[in-house]
Every structure is written in C-alpha cells, then in structure tokens.
Structure 1
Amino acid sequence: MFKPSNMLIWCCVRYYLRTCAAKGQSSDTIRGKYSGLKKFFLWCLENDIRKVDRINLDVMDGYMEFLNAYRIPATNKPLCQNQKRNLVEFVKVFVKALHRKGIMEQNTLEFIELPGKEYTLPKGLFSEYEVERILDQPILLGERGYRDKAILETFYATGIRRTELAHIRFSDVNFEAKELTITHGKGHRQRIVPISQRALEWIALYWQRVRPIFANIGGCDYLFLANNGNQYLPNKLSDMVAKYVKQAGFKRHGACHLFRHATATFMLDNDADIRHVQVMLGHASLSTTQIYTHVSQKKLRAVYQRTHPSALSNVELR
C-alpha cells in the first residue's frame, strides 16, 4: 500500500481508510469514519486549509465552533453532544495515524480536549406486553412470516446486534446447551450467550421448513437468509423489524435495537446482575450497560416503596 505522495487532506484520508480496511475494521466503522472525515474536509476547503500539516489545535477550535453552530438540514436541529465528540475524535485518530505512519512529523492533536460525552437514556422502550404483540405479527405472513418470527424471537431472546444476527450460521446454535455463539461481535469480540427454548424452537422450524426455499435461490450458508437467498443486510433487518413494530400499532423510532433495550431492561428488572447483562450484550465497558439501570424503573419503584420514609408513611390528607 503506497503512502500518499503529497500532504493534501483528502489524499491522506483515502490512504487512512484503506489502512483501516486492511486492519479488518468493519464496513460500518469505515463508513462512519468516511462520513465524519468528509465533513471535516469540506469545512477545511471552505477555510482554505488544504494540507494535513496545517491541522492543529487552533484549527480544531474553529471546527468545534462550526459544529456547535451547525444545524442538521433535515430537521434544523443542532448536533447532540456525542455527535460532536465523534466528529472531533475522527479527526484526532486520523492525525494520530498519519503521525504513526511518518506522514506527519508531529501528532498535532495529541493534547486536544474532546467535547464532553453525553449519556442518553434509550427512547421508545417497550413493555413485555408490547414486545409480545410485535412478536405475534409475522405468523400471519406465510413462509416469510416463519423466518421473520424466528428472527424476532432471536433478537428478543438474546439482545444481540443486527450485524451479529446477520452473521449467525447454523453451527453457531447449540440446541442442547441452549447457547448461541456470536462470532461477529463489535470490535471482533466473540462471546457465547444463552438463548431461550422458545426461540430455539422457532429457529428449528424455520430451518426445517422454510430456509431450504430461500437457500435454493442464493445458496448462502448463513442461518437467516433474505428473500434473494443471500445474507441479510443489517439495514434490511431494520426495515423488516420496523414494519412489524408499525403493524403492531406502535409509532416509535428504532427497530432491532428496541429488542436489545428490552432484553437489558427486563433482565435488570428481574434482578439480573449488571455484569451478566454486560456479557450478554457484549459491551466492552460496564458504563455502557449502566445506562439501563436508569431505565429499570420496576426495581427502582419497588425499592422506593420499601425504603423511603415518605413512601412508608400513611398520612391522610384532610
């Protein structure tokens, strides 16, 4: 892989993204870096900044000022704190990589202060009744319905990400131990998670009766196949799940991740240890899992009623 022959920002961006791909980073990760660095590059052009050796802390102060004033065209809303942090971090990591490769003499952003991180609560959480209502929708649609039902049950039983589900093979399912091996976890981390008997039965039914129909079209060896017989694309999984959420009568943003949120919240509500939930979801940091302790209201209400003096008092108002 040849290094860029000049210091032009976009030439260096393309080289950097190729090195990311060579390291085996996921297409979603590279796509995010491409989008973020393109936004920075366009801002640099408007400010007559052409070469990477001009990127320094003063330049980044100007870029962060731009991000603070930026409004998303579709909604006219400002960027959230995490979006601004990610956009700045894309540039920081980019410059650090160029320095390591010897393209830049100094890591000019080594001491940059990133915008603060914001922890937001998951939105649109479902109750157990609402989840079951969504799960009931696919069985009305024949062969595709059996497949979609098996997918929804797997999402709900395991809380896995959509990319992780798309890469499951039949050999990853252990029916006897009631376990599912995740081979395509975030950050290339593999893990084994439990899966319910109910989900396993739907997977078995789909495998025996329905999957051969799709397999004859594309011949792909992944467990869940799209209508063309090939591997399911993550965005198509989201479209499918969103369809059933709407069909169940719910108007909420999000799709596959809503089941992930539900899995974490229900387990914590029923006294699961937070570290077990962390392993289940494949979170690298416990702080990510701790977000769900703030939305686990069932346990909080019970503890409050049992422990707070105001809740324990039986004062009658006159």
Structure 2
Amino acid sequence: MENQELPPAYEQALAGFGRYLEAERARSAHTRRAYLSDLRSLLEYAVSEGLTDLPGLDLTTLRGWLGAQSQAGMSRSTLARRSATARSFTTWALREEIITVDPALRLRAPKAEKSLPGVLQSQQLVRLLTGLEQAAAEGSPIPVRNRAIVEVLYATGLRVGELAGLDVDDLNPDRRTLRVVGKGNKERTVPYGVPAAVAVDDWLRRGRPSLANGHSGPALFLGSRGNRVDQRQVRTVVKDLFEALGDTSATGPHALRHSAATHLLDGGADLRAVQEILGHSSLATTQIYTHVSVERLRKSYQQAHPRA
C-alpha cells in the first residue's frame, strides 16, 4: 500500500523523529522502521480527521487512532507498541517545541500479551547439532559456518542481530566469552561452552579462510561471497534447519534464544544471571521464561514436597 501524502510539517516531523531514534535512542534499523511506520499511520489518521497541524494533536485523536487500529484487528502487542510510539513521539515533539502540550500523558493501551516462547526439547537439539556436526565434517565452509552459528546461538542466547554483528576480536577463546553489543549499544560479556568453542574454532581454521576476501573486514561470520553475514541469511539458515528437523513449531533463531534461556533456568541458573546473559533491561522480560520452565518446577516440587 502506498503511503498517503502528508503535509510538509508532518513529513519534517517524521524525518526529525527518525533522526532522533537513530542518533539519541540508538534504535536498531528494524525498530526505527516499525516506529516510523506507526507514526506515519498516526499522522495519516490525523489528516483523515481534518488535523493539519501538529500543535492540534490531542488525546482524543490518539485514542481514536488506537481505536481504529483495534477495530481493524490489530493484536494487543501491536497496539501496545503503537501506543509507545505515540508517547515517544509526543515527548520528542514537546522537547523540540513542535507542540506545547504533551497529549499522550494519559494515553493507555492494552498490555501486550506475554506469549510463551517456543522451546526445542533436548532430544531435538541433540539431533539438530549432531546433524550439523556430521555435515561440517565434510569440510565445505558453509556447513562449517552453519554449525558454528547454531552452536553459538544456543550456547549464548544471542539475538540474531547481535550474532551477525560479531567481530573476530569479540571472541576471547581462553575465557570462552564473547563481547556483545546489544540493544541501545549496551555492551555485555557472554560465556559459551566447549561445543560452541570447538565449532567456532573449526570455522576459524577451516571455514572462514575459504570465504574471506577484501570485503570481509573483521566480521566473525561471513556469507558465501565473503561479506559479513546478515540477519536475513541467518534466519534462512535456521528456518531451513528447523524444517528439515520436523516435529517442532520452532521457526527461526529466536527459538534457540528461548531454548537457551529455558534450559538455563531448568538447570538452576539464577534469574538475574540469565537476564545478564540475554541482555534484558528488565527482569520482567526474563521472567517470561520461568513460565515455560515446567520441568524445573516439577523437579523442585518433587524434591521439596513431602507428599510428592
């Protein structure tokens, strides 16, 4: 669908808000696109309601916009994000003196539903990783890389963007840790285990040199043409592996992040340690995984309850 033409002042505000998200909020390109799409939707709605200047934006308009989205079938999580976009925009616009009153101070939206993340069972992971090891043994660089990617994703719980952004120098092989730059350009150190270390070492010795060229730079993981691997490539690799695995609802790299978090908690890891590993700014986000750790709950019950 083509974008509706907006008044020049609206287009200028849209561009300015985009620059703000990139420069001051350090938002990822994916997040910026989502926020700017949300804001364009709001401004198009305002125009349809006869509002042609931003100082006239009020709470009634914001609520009407969200109401229209709800009637169109938007999910609660999307409505929550769009409400957050509106609040972020009006806060910025007030600071920039584009508006004189913040109309979103009393704006509320449904809380996003906390869905239970998809998790791979231990036996599924064994099958997946064993198959990758066997494929890598043949020596072709792409299977060697794919094995290392999956081992690292599961060992560390990294987001796919964080993995794609890794450089060779981010590895500390002696301590088996990674330096990771996460959301908001926040840096953290994440440990990884022996299987991931073996897979990464194999990639650095046998796989990466076969693909590296003048365009590779410091990137840890490379695509078939020698450039830094991108998020789309990683998602495609993992999606294809899951489809070949069968008997799983997992569809992408985030399932490996969910699995890592859940299995850490199942093994007795401290919730705050898992929060640090995953790079969550809020402990509440990490707590979602406690709801899927049924095995940990069952074991605790059996160990503690006298009538278990």
Give TM-score, length-normalised by structure 1.
0.87
Equivalent of 1:101 in 96, 99, 108? 96
Q: Which amino acid aligns with 1:29?
A: T
| Secondary structure of residue in 1 paired with 2:111 | coil
Pairing of 1:251-266 with structure 2 (within 5 A): 251-266=248-263
The equivalent of 1:45 in structure 2 is: 47
The aligned residue for residue 146 of structure 1 is 144
Question: Partner amino acid for 2:278?
Answer: L
Letter in 1 for 2:81: N
* Structure 1 partner of 2:4: none
Deviations 1:223-263 (A, max 9, x none): 00111211121122111111111111245253111111111
Name the counterpart of 2:160: 162
RCO comparison, higher one (Cα < 8 Å, 6+): 2
| Amino acid aligned to 2:102 | N
For structure 2, the 5+ residue unaligned runs are 1-6
Name the CA shift for 1:226/1:43 in 2 (closer, same or farther; >3 Å).
same
Match of 1:185 in 2: 182
Amino acid at match of 1:261: H
Structure 2 counterparts to residues 234-273 of structure 1, below 5 A: 234-273=231-270
Q: Distance in 2 between matches of 1:134 and 1:121?
A: 22
The answer to which of 170-179 and 13-22 deviates more is: 13-22
Unaligned runs of 5+ in 1: 1-5, 72-78, 313-318
- The equivalent residue for 2:219 is 222
Structure 2 counterparts to residues 1-318 of structure 1, below 5 A = 8-23=9-24, 24-71=26-73, 79-122=74-117, 124-138=118-132, 139-140=134-135, 142-182=140-180, 184-216=181-213, 218-306=215-303, 312=308
Contact kept? 1:8, 1:51, Cα under 8 Å: yes
Q: 2:83 and 2:8 mapped to 1: Cα distance?
A: 20
| Partners of 1:137 and 1:247 within 8 A in 2 | no
Aligned length: 297
2:239·2:251 contact (CA, 8 Å) conserved in 1? yes
Quick one: distance in 2 between partners of 1:262 and 1:18?
Answer: 35
Corresponding letter in the other structure for 1:95: T
Alpha carbons 2:55, 2:98 under 8 Å: kept? no
* Distance in 1 of aligned mates of 2:165 and 2:85: 27
Query: Separation in 1 of the partners of 2:50 and 2:225?
Result: 48
- Relative to structure 1, the CA distance from residue 42 to residue 135 in structure 2 (aligned partners, 3 Å threshold; closer, same or farther) is farther
Q: How far is the alpha carbon of 1:13 from its aligned partner? A: 1.0
Distance 1:165 1:202 in 2: 15
Counterpart CA distance in 1 for 2:174 and 2:103 is 55
Identity percentage over the alignment?
Answer: 29
CA distance in structure 2 between the partners assigned to 1:218 and 1:87 by the alignment: 38
Q: TM-score, normalised by structure 2?
A: 0.90
